[in-house]
């Protein structure tokens, strides 16, 4: 049985003038890491800002940690962390003093010095915020969101503009948050980030959640998995087909390039490699191609995922 949800959204509607950004959206978020994906203008930012208490719904209900984020903001805000893409930092403040200020607002903050070191902010701690690089500002915003040991943290594009080393350090920190019992809701335009980190993924488009589930559940649908291998041209595909399960198919697409489709699992892979061994075939390359989150996203929205 799953634990109580940390966020429950029912029938959320939010309009900006004549534009309806979110139109009767429903979403339940359980403890863990949830990635919210969607093309620009889909409504994901409005959804997250409604959960943070920055937007008042025109209709519907929002519950975060059992509280209304708009009416009960005073009780909720000490229990959540929010990472913003911009703003929230005094432009003239130094990085270290801003982080220590935020830490001082909480009863049991993380060790500030350790966090500074962990996120590679040690060399710029005494640098004014406006003089920080984009990546440094991003890491400072992340540190400010988590330093208070929140029960739930909202991360908006947490690795945008970061180099690969800083990106992976951020992933490690997010995983540690989960390990410490902190729930995370993140928006991202990086498919590998969602696949690597998320326990659940919600895809938002046209003001609705159009898909919700684990990455494995979402990727299980659509095109079947495919196994490809290369070898000498003209292999006996009919013989290979006889060795495969009845629901599988095999073909030589171009000379020396072979494709096997069906339920690709360890047994099918073993059958193909065993057949190759019996027929004296040494595959130059063998690979399993799986349906990815990006495949799912494009099939559902018909749009590329862009920053």
> What are the residue ranges spanned by the domains of the chain?
7-220, 226-290
Residue 291: pLDDT band (50, 70, 90) is: confident
- pLDDT tens track for 80-134: 999 976 656 777 788 889 999 999 988 899 999 999 998 888 888 788 888 888 8
Residue scoring higher pLDDT (303 or 18): 18
What is the sign of the dihedral through the CA atoms of 65, 68, 69 and 75?
Answer: negative
Average pLDDT over the chain reads 91
Q: Domain spanning 226-290 has what CATH number?
A: 3.30.70
Strands 257-261 and 226-230 come out as: antiparallel
- pLDDT tens track for 259-269: 998 888 899 99
Residue scoring higher pLDDT (143 or 299): 143
Q: How far apart are CA 170 and CA 163, in angstroms?
A: 11
3-state class (DSSP) for residue 54? coil
φ, ψ at 61 (rounded to 5°): -130, 150
Q: Domain spanning 7-220 has what CATH number?
A: 3.40.50.300
Task: Report CA Rg, the chain.
Answer: 24
How many Cβ atoms sit within 10 Å of the Cβ of residue 252? 16
């Amino acid at each position: 049985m799953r634990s109580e949800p940390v966020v429950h959204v029912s029938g959320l509607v939010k309009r900006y003038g004549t534009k309806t950004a979110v139109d009767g959206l429903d979403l339940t978020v359980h403890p863990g890491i949830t990635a919210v994906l969607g093309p620009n203008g889909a409504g994901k930012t409005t959804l997250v800002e409604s959960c943070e208490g920055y937007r008042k719904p025109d209709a519907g209900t929002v519950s975060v940690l059992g509280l209304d984020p708009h009416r009960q903001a005073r009780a909720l805000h000490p229990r959540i962390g929010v990472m913003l893409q911009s703003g929230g930092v005094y432009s003239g403040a130094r990085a270290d003093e801003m982080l220590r200020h935020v830490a001082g607002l909480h009863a049991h903050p993380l060790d500030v010095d350790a966090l500074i070191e962990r996120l590679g902010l040690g060399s710029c701690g005494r640098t004014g915020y406006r003089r920080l690089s984009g990546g440094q500002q991003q890491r400072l915003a992340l540190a400010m969101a988590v330093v208070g040991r929140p029960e739930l943290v909202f991360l908006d594009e947490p690795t945008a503009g970061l180099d690969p080393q800083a990106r992976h350090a951020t992933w490690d920190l997010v995983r540690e948050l989960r390990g410490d019992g902190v729930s995370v809701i993140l928006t991202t335009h990086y498919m590998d980030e969602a696949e690597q980190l998320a326990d659940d993924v919600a895809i938002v488009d046209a003001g609705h959640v159009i898909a919700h589930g684990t990455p494995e559940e979402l990727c299980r649908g659509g095109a079947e998995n495919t196994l490809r291998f290369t070898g000498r041209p003209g292999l006996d595909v009919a013989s290979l087909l006889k060795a495969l399960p009845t629901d599988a198919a095999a073909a030589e697409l171009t000379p020396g390039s072979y494709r096997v489709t069906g339920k690709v699992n360890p047994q099918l892979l073993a059958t193909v490699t065993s057949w190759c061994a019996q027929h004296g075939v040494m595959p130059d390359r063998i690979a399993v191609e799986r349906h990815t989150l990006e495949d799912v996203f494009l099939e559902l929205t018909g749009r590329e995922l862009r920053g």
